[in-house]
Amino acid sequence: MMTAEDKKILERFPLLINSDIVYLDSAATTQKPAEVLKAVDDYYKTSNANPLRGLYELSVKATDIYEEARKKTADFINASSDEIVFTRNATESLNLIAYSYALNTLKPGDEVVVSIAEHHSNMLPWQFACKKTGAVLRYAECTKEGLLTPNMLEKLLTDKTKIVAIAQVSNVFGCENDIQSFVSLVHEKGAVFVCDGAQSVPHMKVDVRALGVDFMAFSGHKMYAPMGIGVLYTKKEILENMDPFLYGGEMIEYVTTEGATYAEVPHKFEAGTVNAGGAAGLSKAIDFINDIGFDYIEKRESYLSELMMTELRKIPHVNIIGDDNPSNHHGIVTFTVDDVHPHDIAAILDSDKIAVRAGHHCAQPLLKYLGVMSTARASMAVYNNSDDVMRFAESVKSLRKRLGYN
């Protein structure tokens, strides 16, 4: 039964309260709280002008909102404002590193290391950068639970290693990597560490200084903010020495027909008109997370993961992928059902108004490595409750029968 507490959180999400959908695809994108939608609306209703350029009051107001969002984002992950570049999403952030850092740093024979479990967003940019520069891309393997240990990583590191790019939390397994240990190993070799935080930043307190990472990429839309605003954290001394990613307006200090002097970081990396409305939404989404608190978020998501795994384990022919320990799932439960293709799982669940992801989760090399064609994934966020999990389990229980199996 839904508790008063469940209801109080749910009521903050207009899409969910106005429908009977059980939304279990939060690892793809979260639903948005009313206060975030209002912040975007308010920005356009009361403060909209082109930020960073106008010499009039309204533009100054827009600039303030945009820069306050940067400050709030920096505080949220314990960085400073000039280390935060706003992008569209984690994918763009990772591409920015590949174009502006990797292409200018890598030499033929250098090595880049990623894990086999990476999302395509943290794999394809490195494939591209290696191909362009003649560097070699090496893959760290993981256990069938999705874990990559410092030991497994260490074996791949050499004096030629220049970049190591690994996600903090896997979008398939939901398990957390020991980033701090990875970073010390990588720094010993004089390489930089790129962390994909898309699945961690929304679910746990992330402190970039404590982790020691050189880069951290994440998306606003997976943490209750609107689509189209993402974040790249880069250590200031690295960011200052990087070339711009995109060229255009408001990223220059001075420009002639022959060349230009670039603006200071981080603006040097934000060419063209920025997404100030999205930044206003992100700022409010961070308020929302801080208001609820990571202690509560982690407790709730761990409880729901445990309940979901317990219920799924009761159902014959259901196989859960990843760690046995629910607290190492961060709301992500990936599974298969014997003889039932994941697309059929998603279609039948959809007819019961339950939204899950099915397919390869943008991690084709991983699934090939695990020897499965594709899987179904249920992923939760703070607005989910035990009713959602029970409705989901009930529907999964009926799957094989509805497909004609005994």
Partner 1 sequence: MASTFYNEVLTDHNINPEHKHSLPEANYTLEGVNPSCGDDIILNLRIEDGIIKDGSYEGSGCAISQASADMMLDLILGKTIEEAEKLSEIFLRMIKGSVSEVELESLEEASILQDISHMPARVKCAVLGWHTLDEIINKSKE
Residues designated catalytic = 362
- Answer for the pair 218, 93: CB distance below 8 angstroms, yes or no: yes
**End-to-end Cα, the chain, rounded Å:** 30
Residue 196 CB, shortest distance to partner 1, in Å, is 22
If we measure between CA atoms, which residue out of 275, 282, 287, 274 comes closest to residue 225?
282
Residue reference for tokens 């064609």? 373
127 near partner 1, judged by CB under 8 A: no
Residue 219, token pair as written in the block: 């998306």
What number of chain residues touch partner 1 (CB under 8 A)? Answer: 22
Residue 344, token pair as written in the block: 């059929």
352 near partner 1, judged by CB under 8 A: yes
Residue 394 CB, shortest distance to partner 1, in Å, is 8
Residue 37, token pair as written in the block: 């939608």
Side chain identity, residue 103: L
404 near partner 1, judged by CB under 8 A: yes
Residue 369 CB, shortest distance to partner 1, in Å, is 15
| Count of CB atoms situated within 10 Å of the CB of 128 | 16
Residues 303-342 that bind partner 1 (CB under 8 A): 339-342
Q: Which stretch binds partner 1 (CB under 8 A): 205-213, 234-242, 290-298, 358-366?
A: 358-366
In the complex with partner 1, the residue whose CB is nearer, 40 or 337, is 337
- Answer for the pair 217, 231: CB distance below 8 angstroms, yes or no: yes
287 near partner 1, judged by CB under 8 A: no
In the complex with partner 1, the residue whose CB is nearer, 257 or 351, is 351
**How far apart, in whole angstroms, are the C-alpha atoms of residue 81 and residue 282?**
15
In the complex with partner 1, the residue whose CB is nearer, 67 or 344, is 344
116 near partner 1, judged by CB under 8 A: no
Residue 195 CB, shortest distance to partner 1, in Å, is 28
391 near partner 1, judged by CB under 8 A: no
Q: Sort strands 354-355 and 215-219 into parallel, antiparallel or unpaired.
A: unpaired
In the complex with partner 1, the residue whose CB is nearer, 249 or 359, is 359
347 near partner 1, judged by CB under 8 A: yes
- Answer for the pair 308, 392: CB distance below 8 angstroms, yes or no: yes
Residues contacting 21, CB < 8 A, separation 6+: 15, 353, 354, 355
**How far apart, in whole angstroms, are the C-alpha atoms of residue 253 and residue 332?**
45
- In this chain, which of 360, 378, 382, 393 binds partner 1, going by CB under 8 A? 360
- In this chain, which of 260, 359, 386, 390 binds partner 1, going by CB under 8 A? 359
The site for partner 1 (CB under 8 A) is made up of 339-344, 347-348, 351-353, 358-360, 373-374, 395, 398, 402-405
